[in-house]
Structure 1
Amino acid sequence: MLHAYKIYTIDATPDFSIGKFFAHVRISRPPAKGEKDGDTFEAIDLGQFDNEWSAEAFGRAWAVAWIDEHWDRNTVTAADALSPPAYPAGS
């Protein structure tokens, strides 16, 4: 399921395997001025859940926290690059 947050798009659709739903997210931003393409960051292995909605909700909340930690404004410049979170997944 896709979610919009600030200027970003969050895809928090979980994977299903071995009877569990696995939370992961793909965070995308549109192209900055002077860029042809935007940027995308993907976080995997965020946790296992018994139901899809729990995995999706966890992934979405994790992505929002990640965006808030890395960008606290609603604009982006070419100098902004998606980077791994400064904290371990699930914290």
Structure 2
Amino acid sequence: MFFFFTCGTQDFSGALKGFEHIRVVCPRCHNSSVVAIKRRNFFTFCFIPIIPLSWGEELRCTICQYHQSTSKEQLIGMQSQGAPAAPPQPQHK
């Protein structure tokens, strides 16, 4: 009797909720294609995720796969810089 088992790693990363609209210019390929993702890599046994190997937030280019770790504070800063400035409020005397 012969049993064949498959072990390995798999990436279950996805878009980071609340930061889907952030687009940054990639320092490697110079395209505006870097997005914020939630990184989740797992050790898998028979294609079933068993042990988490790494997790966190990162910026990843969808074209050249450049990636850089980031934090929610940095993403909030990017989000506030990209938002249009509010018009100045009139001052009443």
TM-score interval (norm. to shorter):
under 0.3
- For CA contacts below 8 A with separation 6 or more, give which structure has more relative contact order: 1
TM-score for the superposition, normalised by structure 2: 0.26
Quick check: which has more Rg, 1 or 2?
Answer: 2
